[in-house]
Structure 1
């Protein structure tokens, strides 16, 4: 394994350990590593992220399944929405948003306000009880469909956007995290396949970088399992703040990068 391969594996490992406890696959942080360190061409970074999700996902999901956290209606509702959404997002990404600047600005505009909203809401909830009414199943599935489109464009399967929204709505992180990872895993399989098919009919770097995606995914496979083990040892408030901070930091990073390119 060369230096690039070792870097990809290590990045996947560390990122997944940090993000798996809050239901984020880690692809949201892997993308800047691809662009800035591994020099993966755009838009191939998006399907490579989806490939990472496919390989890394089973690590955390296996752990959550063993602890009984995957059973429940939320997982089914999210999968039903994100799977068709991510395929549509792949088409939008290839034909309408191929440029790196627009791509980063769109991602930043989505993730930064979500992260800040979740952090503020979590801090306020510590001062006074929040009165939240759970959404109906149809609303959750519809939201998952919309976020799936965004996730297909961004290469994250949608889980890292759904997580902050649902947790901010009042759902426990212990319920949202496995459901979001399951939807990300299912959507990423469909999204990566869609990009592979689109690469047969269009020019440019659309197919995933198979070597880097697999190596980073193997790191994420190990890191995801370890991160899922850590979840029950972390307080709910800390998990909510971590999820909000992850979304806000990566959103701000992309807005800065998009504005300076």
Structure 2
């Protein structure tokens, strides 16, 4: 099948299959998987036009709701954190989309910049993983308790999730103002500076707008390594923020298209939807399985995919 906007030809079953596989694993760490679809499209499909960024964000729009729904049903959405991410990220997304089209149409240049950003984040997570805690585990008391409750009450939890009941009370918000966001997670208290979240989200929005990765691949590791928030509560907020900002990004790229008639700027809608359909299934299953996977394993997975992507970008820049 030929995709006119992307200028590529590929069997229609490949995009959803690839997206399903990527999203299943990355969604466990609050990442949509779009940052891995980007090198796949550029390296394997030969899709290098600026519209690839918009197509990636279209994937987010279709795929993310299933994962967010699962986190919501399990009561693991920290809404103040989510809204802070959305408010901070939106302005950055518009700036990033403009920068991508006007100043970084060359795929080699934006690959290198993305590699430097992702390399720093991946090394930061790797450093945290290598420097083990005195107890030899990276799990907080809350995370251990969460795993214990899952093991002891798995049947009860699954039964409740099949009914029309309220979300499980895993998260309880205790504070939300311009100074601080605070919440309890199974009896353990966590805090993060509101302005720190805003500033981080703004920068992430610019990067996400340029590369069409939504920002989850960047913001989730920062929440984990810098703000010391548990991965079980970060994932839902990162995915929801990525979903909302991806809508804004796709709309802006579509709006910019008439001003660049000689350049492919608007998303390839059919290709993006095919990716999204596969990602939808992968994210739902990934969100469902996340609570059964140790936090350390999720961090190692997140670190590995980020460093792998950075390496691919650097290799592409220095290669022929």
Q: TM-score when scaled to structure 2?
A: 0.77
Specify the alignment match of 2:198 in structure 1: 141
Question: Is 1:121 the counterpart of 2:128 in the alignment?
Answer: yes
Bigger strand share = 2
Shift of 1:123: 2.4
How far apart are the structure 2 equivalents of 1:93 and 1:43? 7
Candidates 186, 189, 195, aligned match of 2:244: 186
Specify the alignment match of 2:111 in structure 1: 104
Question: Is 1:9 the counterpart of 2:16 in the alignment?
Answer: yes
Candidates 232, 241, 253, aligned match of 2:291: 232
The RMSD of aligned alpha carbons is: 1.7
Question: Is 1:195 the counterpart of 2:202 in the alignment?
Answer: no
How far apart are the structure 2 equivalents of 1:112 and 1:233? 28
Q: 3-state SS of the aligned residue for 1:157?
A: coil
Shift of 1:166: 1.1
Question: Is 1:256 the counterpart of 2:286 in the alignment?
Answer: no
Q: 3-state SS of the aligned residue for 2:214?
A: coil
Candidates 47, 50, 54, aligned match of 2:61: 54
Specify the alignment match of 2:36 in structure 1: 29
Structure 1 segments of 4 or more deviating over 6 A? none
- Contact 1:163-1:180 within 8 A present in 2 as well: yes
How far apart are the structure 2 equivalents of 1:191 and 1:198? 11
- Which has more radius of gyration? 2
Aligned runs of 1:66-81 on 2, under 5 Å? Answer: 66-81=73-88
How many residue pairs get aligned? The number is: 259
Shift of 1:134: 4.7
- Contact 1:162-1:180 within 8 A present in 2 as well: yes
Greater alpha carbon shift after TM alignment, 54-63 vs 68-77: 68-77
Long gaps (5+) in structure 1: none
Q: 3-state SS of the aligned residue for 2:56?
A: helix
Q: Deviations over 1:137-182 (max 9, x none)?
A: 1111111011110111111111110111111121111111111111
Check 1:117–1:71 CA distance in 2 against 1; reply closer, same or farther (3 A cut): closer
Q: TM-score when scaled to structure 1?
A: 0.94
